[in-house]
Amino acid sequence: MALPTRPKRDSTPAYAPSPSPAPLLPVPQQHVQPEEEYDVVYQEETYAPATGSQEVVYEDEYVAPTPAPSASIFDAPAPDEEEDDIDEEFKALSDEDAESLELLMQEILSDESSEVIMNGPESIHYKKNGQRFHMADVKFKDIATYHEIINNFILEYTDTKERISDSSYLIEGQLQIQDDPDSPPTVARVHIIAPPAVKMAKVTIAKKAKRQFTLEDLLARGSFSQQQYEFLKAIARGKVTTVISGLSGSGKTTLLEAMSHYFDQHDRVVVVEDTPELKFPVPDAVYMVSSKPKPGEDKSKMITLEWLVQQTNRMRPDRIIVGETRGGEMAEFLIAANSGADGSMTTIHAQDPRKALSKMSNLASRGADSQSEISINKDIASTVQIIIQTGLIDGKHIVTHIEEISNMVRKESNAIATTTLFEYDRRTGQQVPMGRPSDALKDFLAARNVHVDLGWFQR
């Protein structure tokens, strides 16, 4: 039985089609960083639109039998002698460990699973159709073998040089496996906490959907109503500054990418992220990625998300996109979005629109040039126009609220005034229009040749 081959890696972006026919088997990444332009501050790449779907996630755990292995992912011949070492690593495994590895890799490659979690030699799980399953048939002999599997096979496909050792107890990277030449590669974020921080490695493999959804796709899946669909198109076209709020797995990134299909093709879009995930179908898209400090590293030498967002002001953007705001970069986002970059967008981790506003205020207060709470709330009210709340309900991504933010802060409570335009009724499963957009928002859109039909907001 032969093993997958090590690639001769080129500079093709992770989400772009392969420039030549891909091998029939997964191709691990070489442990080198891609060449970066402009003194490694940012990479400017054009990503091809992807295909595929993003799975929904529940937190309940179920036990289900693991399917029997089909054709082995290791059944392709190695092209030259350089592949002998990985082949030998596989051959050195016992039959039981080799079979478990094949089952594990099949689940990582499956389009139906959204993530794979590895807690130990006999505690491996995956999510499929929003439900969590235990892979009862995947068992490795002991902790040492379990760590060898992670080092020699999982991390072989990940763009990091680090391996589990006494000195590397936090490992992060992007996994990429091209197992089917006729479809996009499997791409995932890999996060590992390893000894001595824990007794045995804890691995989280969060998979990126192979296919980028459009608003039409989400409408067909019942994520929102026809009325909301029309309004979401309008605010994307009309350059309305928007924050998408929701919990993990609620579809924030999916919705953000779907709305990007209605960006003006002449827009210069500057994208800032902690982990490269987003891709937009516009010709002039600049992608910048922050560097995260590892334990013990000098944080002053890291490229922070806050610093990158600050730099966007000098890059002549039409729109600024921050993948997710988690800290002081919120203050810089407000400054950048309020400096001519209408239609800027970000996502935030919050349970509802009011909590999203509170979190925005809290995060902005962590900025380098912190202001008073009242000043921050005035900045939010004058910059953010719409909050879209996403949720995961009965296994589906649902837009649960669309909230308009008024340019007003109440003196007595220091609260930002809002108007709920749409709300999801869980009892009936219906999207209910609750209010109408303000004249200010309608005038803002009209100035950008985008019409708002008040019929969208009628029950």
pLDDT tens digits, 30-49? 444 444 443 434 344 444 44
Mean pLDDT over 9-38 rounds to: 41
**pLDDT of residue 293 exceeding 70:** no
Query: Residue 274's pLDDT band (boundaries 50, 70, 90)?
Result: confident
Note the pTM of the prediction, 2 decimals: 0.74
Model confidence at 57: pLDDT above 50: no
Q: From 328, 347, 415, 339, select the one nearest 383 (Cα to Cα).
A: 339
Q: What is the mean pLDDT of residues 8-14?
A: 39
Written as six digits, the tokens of 143 are 């902790």
pLDDT above 90: percentage of residues in the chain: 58
Identify which has the larger pLDDT, 279 or 395: 279
Q: Is the preceding omega at residue 276 within 30 degrees of 0, hence cis?
A: no
Check if the beta carbon of residue 134 is closer than 8 Å to that of residue 113: no
Backbone φ and ψ of 113, nearest 5°: -95, 140
What is the pLDDT, as a whole number, of residue 167? 77
In the prediction, which pLDDT does 73 show?
54
For residue range 125-137, list pLDDT tens digits in order.
998 866 789 999 9
Residue the block writes with tokens 């970066």: 36
Question: In angstroms, what is the C-alpha Rg of the chain?
Answer: 23
CA 252 to chain centre: 8
Mean pLDDT of 370-380: 89
Q: 205-208: long-range contacts at Cβ-Cβ below 8 A with a sequence spacing of 24 or more?
A: 205/108, 205/115, 205/116, 205/117, 205/118, 205/154, 205/175, 206/114, 206/115, 207/55, 207/108, 207/113, 207/114, 207/115, 207/116, 208/54, 208/277
Among 324, 346, 354, residue whose Cα is nearest residue 417: 354
Could you tell me which residue, 172 or 40, shows the higher pLDDT? 172
> What does the pLDDT read at residue 411?
79
* Residue that wins the pLDDT comparison between 362 and 19: 362
For residues 385-408, average pLDDT: 93
The pLDDT tens digits for 129-161 are 667 899 999 999 999 999 999 999 999 889 888
Cα distances (Å, whole numbers) of residue 297 to 274, 291, 308? 17, 11, 19
Q: Identify the structural domains of the chain with CATH numbers, from first to last.
A: 57-208 (3.30.450.90), 215-457 (3.40.50.300)
pLDDT over threshold 90, residue 356 = yes
| Helical spans, DSSP H, in 17-82 | none
Tokens of residue 221, six digits: 């899946």
The tens digit of pLDDT for each residue in 205-258 reads: 988 877 789 999 999 999 999 999 999 999 999 999 999 999 988 889 999 999
When mean pLDDT is compared across 292-306, 341-355, 391-405, 422-436, the lowest value belongs to 292-306
**Mean pLDDT, the chain, integer:** 83
| Over residues 425-448, mean pLDDT | 95
- Percent with pLDDT over 70 in the chain: 79
Cβ distance 397 to 114 under 8 Å? no
- Contact call for residues 175 and 154 (beta carbons, < 8 A): yes
Could you tell me the pLDDT band of residue 459, with boundaries at 50, 70 and 90? Answer: confident
